[in-house]
């Protein structure tokens, strides 16, 4: 598949909010789904740099949000229809100065599939903590 990574457009907002909502409800089965709202996307990405992953057919496949001041990857969400086809990898590779730059993120311990994805892309566990959604591990990517 061919992916285009680009900034978000105004017309993407509803689809990005839907991806964020549906993937959280499908993945975080240990959290009450009633705690997730469509409006969360705008609130949770406020002030962040968002990268949109677009499939060659024009569909928005997912997104990555980055808090640049801390090189912190806040979110990486891929629509269920496009998971496992390289969209997440394309988003990581689109990060500024990837892979020569240090990035970090938090991954919920129960989200085993996401953790396996990040470990396969060179991230290492460098810390841990607790959030309202559960225990997490801090993962860091060190330049090659």
Sign of CA dihedral 38, 8, 48, 23: positive
Residue 12: the pLDDT is 97
pLDDT for the residue numbered 29: 86
Residue-by-residue pLDDT tens, the chain, 144 positions: 799 999 999 999 999 999 999 999 999 888 888 899 899 999 999 999 999 999 999 999 999 999 999 999 999 999 999 999 999 999 999 999 999 999 999 999 999 999 999 999 999 999 999 998 899 999 999 887
Instruction: Please give the structure tokens belonging to residue 133.
Output: 């959604």
Which residues, including other chains, have CB under 8 Å from residue 83's CB and lie 6 or more apart? none
For residues 33 and 19, give the distance between their C-alpha atoms in angstroms, rounded to a whole number.
14
Helix intervals (H) in 6-121: 13-27, 40-44, 87-93, 112-120
Architecture of domain 4-141: 3-Layer(aba) Sandwich (3.40)
Contact between residue 62 and residue 87 where contact means Cβ atoms under 8 Å apart: yes
| 105's tokens | 């993120």
All structural domains of the chain with their residue ranges? 4-141
Length of the chain: 144
């Amino acid at each position: 598949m061919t992916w285009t990574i680009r900034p978000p457009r105004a017309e993407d907002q509803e689809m990005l909010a839907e991806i964020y909502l549906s993937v959280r409800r499908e993945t975080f089965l240990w959290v009450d789904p009633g705690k997730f709202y469509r409006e969360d996307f705008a609130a949770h990405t406020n002030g962040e740099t968002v990268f949109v992953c677009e499939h060659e057919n024009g569909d928005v496949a997912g997104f990555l949000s980055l808090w640049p001041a801390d090189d912190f990857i806040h979110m990486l969400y891929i629509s269920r229809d496009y998971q496992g086809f390289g969209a997440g990898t394309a988003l990581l590779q689109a990060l500024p100065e990837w892979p020569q730059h240090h990035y970090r993120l938090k991954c919920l311990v129960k989200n085993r599939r996401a953790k396996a994805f990040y470990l396969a892309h060179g991230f290492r566990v460098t810390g841990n903590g607790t959030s309202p959604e559960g225990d997490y591990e801090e993962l860091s990517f060190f330049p090659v």
